[in-house]
Amino acid sequence: MALINCDKHGKQGVIHLCTHLHKQFEKKTELDITHQIKKDLSGMTIYLCDECVDKNNLENIEILDFDDLQKIGDDLWPICGKCLI
């Protein structure tokens, strides 16, 4: 599992948000999470909105491979898992 050094919570598990969800997170509004991806091999947890899934042609997000992750990589923001709760 990837770790992030949070100013508030110290070292915690990292969760990746798409750009749209990150903007909602920054505004402290409720996140409109419509897709969750957990990659066991990499230990990544990624939350995406419908717009990002459609924009990147991720038809079957349950079986994303490395190329799919590269497509969305620049649009992901790491945040502290405890801050998301």
The least confident of 1-10, 12-21, 48-57 is 48-57
Give the confidence band of 32 by pLDDT, cuts at 50, 70, 90: confident
- The pTM of this model reads 0.80
Per DSSP (E only), the strands in 1-82 are 3-6, 10-18, 35-39, 44-48, 76-80
Q: Which residues contact 67 (CB under 8 A, 6 or more apart)?
A: none
Q: What is the pLDDT of residue 40?
A: 52
Higher pLDDT, 83 or 44: 83
Position 7: which residue type? D
For residue 72, the enclosing domain spans: 3-84
Q: Residue 5 CA to chain centroid, in angstroms?
A: 17
CB contact at 8 A, 77 and 22: yes
pLDDT at 43: 66
Q: For residue 4, give the amino acid letter.
A: I
Domain count, the chain: 1
